[in-house]
């Protein structure tokens, strides 16, 4: 390579390599050379074809020769080496025209492949380039509202923004990192992030993903995530990683390709050298029979693995198609796993339901004075049992991301509650929270701080050593005046138990999602939840799920996921919102998480992130995975068919070298075209494919007819 650079060969090769205009000029000159002997005015110019070839061949041969030498020096035998050997061998055999046509068509085919590949890729560079590098950091504590006309801000790099800082976002600007509206309101668009075309309104308290574009108005945004954890950076990272993480078939083809190329060279040499002895072919050929060397070159061209190498292009195409709709995959292997799964499990709260719980009632059920008569005894709680319980629960849940904790905090806003402080705090995932409180004194122990626990009814009842007392609590829950239909959480403060009742509603459109997964995807569907039986079955009935597993701790969900994965054979899809779901998501064959709600741990273990807070994209993901794996299988079959139908006639001497190249590269382009079909909307069956094709043709014809009628009406008289 140093010699090539020293003499300028490398610079010339870089300028000519796979240059569309240069390839077209070379191909045009070679075609002129091919027709010269058959056109009367040009046939009289005897040296014209040779002159045209002498000009055209170097345009495509200079870079091909250098690339082949570099690969051979590195010990690589690939498609570029095979093509270069065939082309330059043609010169020594007196077939320089065919050698030039071979290289020109090969380069044009590769330019077309790169074009199709680039069309299939989700271009994260555009996101990077359009994303602001700086943010307007406000010089305010955020404790009070400010006047937009009197703002003081500093321009800082987005990487330096800290959580809980406040930034100014003006009309036409992009939100640099994830945040929530602190002051002002506006309309934003997130089409380039999630594919959602409809602009959305955002006002105080609403979340905004990083990369969202502010269409109008001015907002002060409170930063909720650093640049490293923001939505836009996550899209860029996961899309790039997903395109680099190759599926099993692609990794195998990459390893197979190099060995296969060496076998092709060996077989081509065998045909060229042994043909005269085995089949009485001449070495160099004559007017009656093509030579064995010519046949060997045909085999080298026809059997090269170019079409096989691009067969997995459908994986990258599908990953890009999904990314453009806000569905991020951690590699093509996820598509293979997803298409093979036979079961799907949903978390309940925040996944099948909205997750926006509302506290409907607070009910003292055990340990309170005169609880059976509904009388508030001042010596029991201050100022009353419900208010004290709400104050304690709100203090313990401050800063939480769990739906129940958020519901408690929302219910406490604007209420006159006693002051409660948390001295120590411990979170027990899947069970609840334990804390030591200030402001609440332990009953009959004035010098001790009260201890409190909040969590599921099962967890709170398990804290009471006496079996009789534990059963009393469970019985009190069953006899609750508000019935068993609500989502429930229990609070224990100094042996006093209070029951919180929450209401949660199914997500809009979730029944249609379940119907599609059951009837079209043919999946076994189940719900896994930590809620009690009555609440779980109420939601399951509302969303049309028959199989329900309730009262599950995180380890129970994990064991259930493992068991179903083993039983089903094809694997299990787990869909959750990332709260207490991380172990189950990690153990599932494919873990799908709603990224807007998910914790960092859930994002790390999940295989698919849904940027849209919408379950309707889950059937789309599964259909896209099945479509992609089917397209890859078609592409491999098509590539092998093209190799066989080009190689066999070439060895038998039926095809000239240039036609062999045309068949070979034509097959490669067919594989590319088949692969980019992964950009089309997925369907569930061949019948759906045919209907989609007919509808597309009907729409195309209708548009053409409408355009022609419009043109006829606008023609001036």
Catalytic residues: 347
Q: How far apart are CA 207 and CA 225, in angstroms?
A: 11
- As a whole number of angstroms, the distance between CA 459 and CA 489 comes to 10
Angle between helix axes 617-651 and 657-675 (nearest 10 degrees) is 170
Count the alpha carbons within 13 Å of 39 in the hemisphere toward its beta carbon: 11
Residue with tokens 């989700």: 122
Distances (CA, A) of 115 to 323, 389, 631: 19, 65, 19
Peptide bond into 276 cis (omega under 30): no
Token output for 216: 């109008």
DSSP string, 616-633: THHHHHHHHHHHHHHHHH
Rounded to whole angstroms, how far apart are CA atoms 323 and 19?
30
Rounded Cα distance, 286 and 294, in Å = 11
**Contact (Cβ atoms closer than 8 angstroms) between residue 342 and residue 568:** yes
Distance in angstroms (rounded) separating the CA atoms of residues 329 and 234? 11
Cβ proximity of 508 and 532 under 8 Å: no
Question: Could you please report the per-residue DSSP string of 147-180?
Answer: -GGG--EEEEEGGG--TT-EEEE-TTPBP-S-EE
- Rounded CA-CA distance 191/567 in Å is 40
Residues 6+ apart with CB under 8 A from 595: 231, 234, 328, 578, 603, 609, 610, 611
Q: Which two structure tokens, joined as six digits, stand for 218?
A: 């001015």
């Amino acid at each position: 390579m140093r010699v090539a650079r020293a003499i300028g060969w490398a610079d010339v090769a870089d300028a000519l390599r796979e240059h569309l205009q240069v390839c077209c000029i070379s191909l045009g000159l070679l075609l002129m050379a091919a027709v010269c002997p058959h056109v009367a005015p040009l046939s009289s110019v005897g040296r014209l074809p040779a002159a045209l070839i002498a000009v055209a061949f170097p345009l495509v041969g200079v870079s091909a020769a250098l690339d082949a030498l570099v690969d051979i020096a590195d010990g690589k035998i690939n498609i570029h080496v095979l093509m270069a050997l065939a082309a330059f061998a043609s010169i020594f055999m007196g077939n320089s025209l065919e050698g030039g046509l071979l290289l020109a068509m090969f380069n044009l085919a590769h330019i077309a492949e790169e074009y199709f590949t680039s069309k299939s890729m989700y271009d994260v560079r555009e996101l990077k380039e359009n994303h602001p590098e700086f943010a307007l950091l406000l010089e305010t504590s955020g404790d009070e509202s400010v006047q937009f006309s009197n703002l003081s801000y500093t321009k800082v790099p987005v990487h330096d923004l800290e959580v809980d800082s406040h930034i100014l976002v003006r009309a036409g600007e992009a939100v640099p990192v994830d945040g929530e509206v602190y002051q002002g309101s506006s309309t934003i668009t997130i089409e380039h992030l999630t594919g959602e075309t409809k602009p959305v309104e955002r006002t105080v308290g609403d979340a905004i993903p990083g990369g969202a574009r502010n269409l109008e108005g001015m907002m002060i945004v409170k930063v909720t995530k650093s640049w490293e954890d923001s939505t836009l950076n996550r899209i860029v990272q996961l899309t790039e990683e997903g395109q680099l993480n190759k599926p099993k078939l692609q990794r195998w083809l990459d390893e197979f390709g190099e060995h296969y190329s060496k076998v092709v060279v060996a077989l081509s040499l065998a045909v060229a050298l042994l043909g005269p002895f085995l089949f009485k072919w001449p070495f160099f050929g004559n007017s009656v029979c093509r030579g064995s060397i010519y046949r060997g070159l045909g085999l080298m061209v026809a059997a090269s693995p170019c079409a096989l190498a691009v067969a997995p292009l459908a994986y990258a195409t599908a990953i890009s198609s999904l990314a453009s709709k806000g569905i991020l995959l951690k590699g093509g292997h996820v598509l293979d796993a997803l298409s093979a799964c036979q079961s799907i499990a949903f978390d309940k709260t925040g996944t099948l339901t909205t997750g926006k719980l509302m506290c409907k009632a607070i009910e003292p059920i055990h340990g309170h004075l005169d609880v059976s008569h509904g009388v508030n005894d001042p010596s029991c709680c201050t100022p009353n049992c419900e208010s004290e319980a709400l104050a304690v629960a709100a203090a313990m849940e401050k800063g939480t991301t769990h739906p129940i904790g958020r519901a408690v905090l929302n219910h406490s806003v604007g209420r006159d509650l006693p002051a409660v402080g948390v001295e120590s705090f411990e979170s027990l995932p899947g069970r609840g929270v334990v804390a030591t409180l200030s402001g609440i004194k332990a009953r009959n122990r004035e010098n001790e701080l009260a201890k409190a626990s909040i969590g599921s009814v099962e967890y709170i009842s398990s804290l009471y050593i006496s079996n009789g007392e534990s059963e009393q609590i469970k019985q009190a829950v069953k006899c609750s005046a508000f019935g068993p239909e609500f989502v429930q959480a229990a609070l224990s403060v100094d042996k006093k138990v209070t029951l919180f009742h929450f209401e949660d509603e199914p997500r809009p459109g979730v029944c249609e999602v379940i119907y599609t997964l059951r009837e079209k995807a043919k999946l076994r569907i189940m719900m896994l939840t930590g809620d009690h039986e009555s609440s779980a079955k109420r939601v399951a009935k509302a969303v049309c799920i028959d199989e329900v597993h309730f009262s599950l701790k995180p380890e129970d969900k994990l064991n259930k996921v493992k068991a179903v994965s083993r039983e089903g054979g094809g694997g299990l899809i787990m869909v959750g919102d990332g709260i207490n779901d991380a172990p189950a998501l990690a153990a599932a064959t494919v873990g799908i998480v709603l990224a807007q709600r998910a914790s960092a741990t859930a994002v790390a273990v999940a295989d698919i992130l849904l940027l849209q807070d919408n379950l309707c994209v889950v059937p789309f993901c599964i259909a896209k995975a099945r479509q992609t794996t089917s397209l890859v299988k078609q592409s491999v079959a098509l590539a092998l068919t093209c190799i066989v139908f080009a190689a066999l006639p070439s060895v038998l001497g039926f095809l000239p070298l240039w036609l062999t190249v045309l068949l070979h590269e034509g097959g490669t382009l067919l594989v590319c075209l088949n692969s980019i079909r992964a950009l089309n909307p997925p369907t569930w069956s061949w019948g759906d494919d045919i209907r989609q094709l007919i509808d597309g043709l009907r729409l195309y014809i209708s548009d053409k007819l409408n355009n022609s009628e419009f043109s006829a009406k606008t023609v001036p008289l």
